[in-house]
Amino acid sequence: MAMHIYDLGWMLAQVLLLLCSAPLVAGIIKKVKALLQNRIGSSIFQEYFDLYKWWQKPTILTPYTSLVFIIAPLVYFASVVVAAAMLPNFFGTQFSFGDVFVFIGVLTLGRFFMTLSSLDTATAFGGMGGSREIYISVLAEPVILLAVLVNALRSGSTTLAGMALDFQAVYLSVASVLTCIAFFCLLLAENGRIPVDNPDTHLELTMIHECMLLEYSGRLLAVIHWASMLKTLVFLVLFSLLYLPLSLPLAVKVLLAATAVSVMETLKNKMRLFKVRVYLAAAGILLLLAIVAQ
Amino acid sequence: MKVKPEGLRGAANICSRGGRHPLTAMFGADETSFGGGYAVYCLFENKEKHDIDILKAEFDAGSDLHYPALTPVLPAAAWYERELHDMFGFIPDDHPDLRPLVLHETYPEDFHPLRKCVDIDADVRGERKYEMAVSHGDGLFEVPVGPIHAGIIEPGHFRFSQAGEAILQLDAKLFFTHRGIEKAVEGKTPEEALLIVERICGACSVANTLSYCQALEKLSGQNVPRRAWLIRTIAAELERLYNHIGDTGNMCAGVGFAPVISMGSRLKEILLRCNEAIAGNRFLRGLIVPGGVKYDLTESLCTELTVALTKVENEYNDIVQIIAEQDGFLNRAKTTGIISKNVALDLALVGVGARASGVDCDCRRDLPYGLYAELPFNVITKTDGDVYARLQVRMGEVAESITLIRKALKLLQQDDSQLHCGELAYKTLTGSWGISESARGSNLHWLMLDADGCIERLFIRSASYPNWPALTIAVQGDIIPDFPLINKSFELCYACLDR
């Protein structure tokens, strides 16, 4: 399919929309969580204020860091933006580029650079965070590929657009429900959510994703946080498009998935670090069952 | 019992009766100002006589302050002896680890602040070696944490020796904000010192004051009226209650279990407001004074307290229920941070830390004071010694404390004795101790007044002091992400050390 200038325009519009709404979705997750936990919580726009605040602050670099430290957040941000562009276009154009393997590869590139930057400062926390991040991603990746396989088998395509569910139909089959649960578990693990990681904690020793960011400040920190929020939104959209078998408008599905994240973060506590493999293995087994059921 | 310095180890060994009588405290005193020399006191809790045996080693003023260390036979003495070395310059021979404890690298080598000849206002600067205990080896690395932490807590530096995620060794550098309270109160009148003692630590304010006041009351020989003791008991149990309930929430913060964190803080807030209604401040300061209490619990306050207690009890039962049903939490808490009974006995642990490891001790029962002998309660013990056992002990004690407060409130209505026994006259140059069970364990004060009736020496051993070294043992074999949870399960206080 040839690429039109209009397609490019719609793609840009989609990326911009996701970029602008990512802090809002993150704010909504926090707000719902606060309400569920008997707290009033901060405004749903708080994430925008935080980004603005960090943007105003100077970036402090230790003399021990190299160029990697500055490049990594940018690569991370760019990788998530590219991933956002690769999502099936929700303005209705048929064009999309790259298949799901490229999608996963791009996201992994960003993660790889963040891990490099965590080692770059040579602090104990950075190294710990980097090692835990890799430990989880190594286990999560094969499971993600399995999730992709389930959809690829059904739709006979490995492009994200080809794999998307039909909005109008309801897919309440055993396979689709199992895949839905399994991908939701993956979504939590990939985005550093409870029960795998705790995004709200101040306890450095228990952190995974946040542990790698401890040396960042100012604009670089803003870039990383924005990228992380965008990544969460990209996963929520992907979950809604590909795996949530309900015939509802996309925005409603995304909000539903975001609420489900808040509920999970209230119901569950963080698991032992070495139990994460059991958790991810469980997601993998659900997916295998889904393939069999399909 | 008085002994010569070289006989201290032998005598201490006898006093401890093979470990059955734990070393409650060990401290030094500079008695040169009234004709003596230096002294080392060892206090053992006599479990049979329900009393404290005091062993005193006297050193001549001009002697070199050497004595055979107790640590090789009584591991519980390790920190006390390091502190004696820092603060007085005693040299316990054969001490396995005589690194500085209280005085960090910014102090000169030969500086011993608790000697009377050291001026409290002296500007002291210098340098000494302060090394952390670490493991070396292929693939091992160190993780330094603190002294400034991400949360709003007190300063402490932890050095982990790691093999991957597994903790091989932990060394804690504490005493960053040592205030020299023991030195600062010297020469103050008991009433002036009371204000300082109340502020040693926020969370053990009542326990510290209660121990201090009991020590003074023993010196005066006068009895505190019954009504005052009832109110003191209520205050002490309220303090235990708000600590235990807050800590239950904090332990859930260690694993990111958010609903219980908020529930715990909310219940703690209710109790802190009760405290404010009783004493005018949230930590019950100014309520307990030598000889009695300052404020009465009026009829309306009692009703208010009863209502609040019912609310707290119901909601706390919800918390207990939620935790019991939360598999994820139980999985984190069980088998994590184990302290065996042997370790607990060797280190003479106190309070929740000891009771969760199967050591049946509670100074409210073992060294009865006030009205605890006639207000029966159960001492909660568990045997697993892990994080969950410590949580269960706290949960059990919350229920016991609520029952105790209810009984005391009932007795209070039938009682019309005085709040205060009147003017106290104190014996001078006589040692005296007072003990009370804080939320963290037994809290001991030892004091002596000089010829003018001012403080000659006040030694404060709060519950956190013997329990801190246990933390470094509990984490061995666990992984570093579990440290915050283990740490919170002990809920040790930095300010209690920085006295």
Cβ pair B262:A39 closer than 8 A = yes
**What does the pLDDT read at residue A107?**
92
Domain housing B195: 188-486
Domain boundary residue, one of B128, B145, B166:
B128
Best mutation target, A203, A215, A261, to test chain B (most B CBs within 10 A): A203
By three-state DSSP, how is residue A32 classified?
Answer: helix
- pLDDT tier, A205 (very low <50, low <70, confident <90, very high otherwise): confident
Instruction: Flag whether residue B479 sits within 8 Å of chain A, measured between CB atoms.
Output: yes
Measured between alpha carbons, how far is residue B409 from residues B293, B300, B369 in Å?
A: 15, 12, 18
B343 and B224 in a single domain? The answer is yes
Distance (Å, rounded) from C-alpha B246 to C-alpha B249? Answer: 5
Per the rule left: phi > 0, alpha: psi between -120 and 50, beta: everything else, B257 is beta
Show the tokens assigned to B425. 């006259």
B98 and B236 in a single domain? The answer is no
Cβ pair B258:A201 closer than 8 A = no
Residue with tokens 């992984």: B479
**What does the pLDDT read at residue B356?**
94
Residue type, B24: T
Distance (Å, rounded) from C-alpha B274 to C-alpha B287? Answer: 13
For the ranges A234-243, A244-253, B325-334, the lowest mean pLDDT is seen at A244-253
Instruction: Flag whether residue B141 sits within 8 Å of chain A, measured between CB atoms.
Output: yes
Q: Is B465 inside any structural domain?
A: yes
**Which residues in A lie closer than 8 A to residue B318 (C-beta atoms)?**
none
**What does the pLDDT read at residue A158?**
81
Instruction: Flag whether residue B145 sits within 8 Å of chain A, measured between CB atoms.
Output: yes
Neighbour count for residue B136 (Cβ, 10 Å): 7
**Which residues in B lie closer than 8 A to residue A268 (C-beta atoms)?**
257, 328
CA-angle at A18, arms to A15 and A19, nearest 5°: 85
The residues facing B91 across adjacent strands are B66
What DSSP designation does B102 have? S
**What does the pLDDT read at residue B312?**
94
**Is residue B85 within a helix (H) or strand (E), and if so which, with residue range?**
helix B78-87
**Which residues in A lie closer than 8 A to residue B325 (C-beta atoms)?**
none
Buried b or exposed e, range B341-356, using 16+ CB within 10 angstroms: eebbbbbbbbbbbbbb
Cβ pair A203:B266 closer than 8 A = no
By three-state DSSP, how is residue B265 classified?
Answer: helix
Instruction: Flag whether residue B477 sits within 8 Å of chain A, measured between CB atoms.
Output: no
Taking CA atoms, what residue in A is nearest to B160?
A: A124
**Which residues in B lie closer than 8 A to residue A38 (C-beta atoms)?**
259, 262-263, 266
**Which residues in B lie closer than 8 A to residue A275 (C-beta atoms)?**
331
Distance (Å, rounded) from C-alpha B73 to C-alpha B80? Answer: 14
Cβ pair B329:A198 closer than 8 A = no
Backbone φ, ψ for residue B287 (5° rounding): -85, -50
Residue A169 has pLDDT above 80, yes or no: no
Neighbour count for residue B307 (Cβ, 10 Å): 11
Give the pTM: 0.90
B198 and B70 in a single domain? The answer is no
Residue type, A274: F
Best mutation target, B153, B257, B262, to test chain A (most A CBs within 10 A): B257
Cβ pair A273:B165 closer than 8 A = yes
With a pLDDT cut of 70, the percent of chain A lying above it is: 95
Taking CA atoms, what residue in B is nearest to A197?
A: B256
**What does the pLDDT read at residue A157?**
81
Distance (Å, rounded) from C-alpha A120 to C-alpha A32? Answer: 36
Q: Is B112 inside any structural domain?
A: yes
Q: Do strands B38-46 and B51-59 pair parallel, antiparallel, or not at all (unpaired)?
A: antiparallel
Identify whether the C-beta of residue B38 lies closer than 8 Å to the C-beta of residue B59.
Answer: yes
By three-state DSSP, how is residue B82 classified?
Answer: helix
Cβ pair B480:A128 closer than 8 A = yes
Q: Is B173 inside any structural domain?
A: no
Residues of chain B with pLDDT under 70: none
Residue with tokens 């709404």: A21
Best mutation target, B255, B318, B471, to test chain A (most A CBs within 10 A): B255
B394-401 contacts at long range (C-beta below 8 A, 24 or more positions apart): B394/B244, B394/B247, B394/B248, B394/B352, B395/B244, B395/B248, B395/B320, B397/B240, B397/B244, B397/B352, B398/B241, B398/B244, B398/B245, B398/B248, B398/B316, B399/B313, B401/B237, B401/B238, B401/B240, B401/B241, B401/B244
Indicate the residue of A38, A201, A274 with minimum beta-carbon distance to B262. Answer: A38
- Number of structural domains (chain B) is 2
Quick one: CA dihedral B105, B111, B114, B118, positive or negative? negative
Residue B288's contacts (CB-CB under 8 Å, 6 or more residues apart) are: B206, B209, B210, B213, B232, B235, B294
Cβ pair A128:B252 closer than 8 A = no
Which residue has better confidence, A54 or B153? A54
Instruction: Flag whether residue B388 sits within 8 Å of chain A, measured between CB atoms.
Output: no
Residue with tokens 């911009």: A16
Neighbour count for residue B376 (Cβ, 10 Å): 11
What DSSP designation does B149 have? -
B272 and B403 in a single domain? The answer is yes
Which residue has better confidence, A223 or A250? A223
B231 and B332 in a single domain? The answer is yes
**What does the pLDDT read at residue A110?**
94
For the ranges A31-35, A166-170, B466-470, B494-498, the lowest mean pLDDT is seen at A166-170
The mean pLDDT of A79-108, rounded to a whole number, is: 84
Instruction: Flag whether residue B258 sits within 8 Å of chain A, measured between CB atoms.
Output: yes
**Which residues in B lie closer than 8 A to residue A185 (C-beta atoms)?**
none
Cβ pair B256:A39 closer than 8 A = no
Per the rule left: phi > 0, alpha: psi between -120 and 50, beta: everything else, B358 is left
Identify whether the C-beta of residue B369 lies closer than 8 Å to the C-beta of residue B442.
Answer: no
Chain A residues touching chain B at CB-CB below 8 Å:
33, 36-39, 124-125, 127-128, 131, 194-195, 198, 200-206, 265-266, 268-275
By three-state DSSP, how is residue B41 classified?
Answer: strand
Residue type, B341: K
Q: Is B147 inside any structural domain?
A: no
- pLDDT tier, A166 (very low <50, low <70, confident <90, very high otherwise): low
- Number of structural domains (chain A) is 1
Residue A95 has pLDDT above 70, yes or no: no
Dihedral, B158, B162, B168, B170 alpha carbons, nearest 10: 0
**Which residues in B lie closer than 8 A to residue A37 (C-beta atoms)?**
258-259, 261-262
Domain with B290 in it: what CATH number? 1.10.645.10
First to last CA, chain B: 28
**What does the pLDDT read at residue A283?**
93
Neighbour count for residue B203 (Cβ, 10 Å): 20
Instruction: Flag whether residue B122 sits within 8 Å of chain A, measured between CB atoms.
Output: no
Domain with B110 in it: what CATH number? 3.30.460.80
**What does the pLDDT read at residue B20?**
87
Show the tokens assigned to A155. 């739709």
Backbone φ, ψ for residue B408 (5° rounding): -65, -40
Residue B107's contacts (CB-CB under 8 Å, 6 or more residues apart) are: B100, B124, B126, B128
Residue A272's contacts (CB-CB under 8 Å, 6 or more residues apart) are: B331, B332, B479, B481, B482
Domain housing A274: 5-293
Taking CA atoms, what residue in A is nearest to B253?
A: A201
ipTM beyond 0.90? Answer: no
Q: Which of A231, A214, A219, A223 is nearest to A87 (CA)?
A: A231
Q: Which of A111, A116, A113, A135 is nearest to A126 (CA)?
A: A116
Q: Is B32 inside any structural domain?
A: yes
Taking CA atoms, what residue in A is nearest to B150?
A: A202
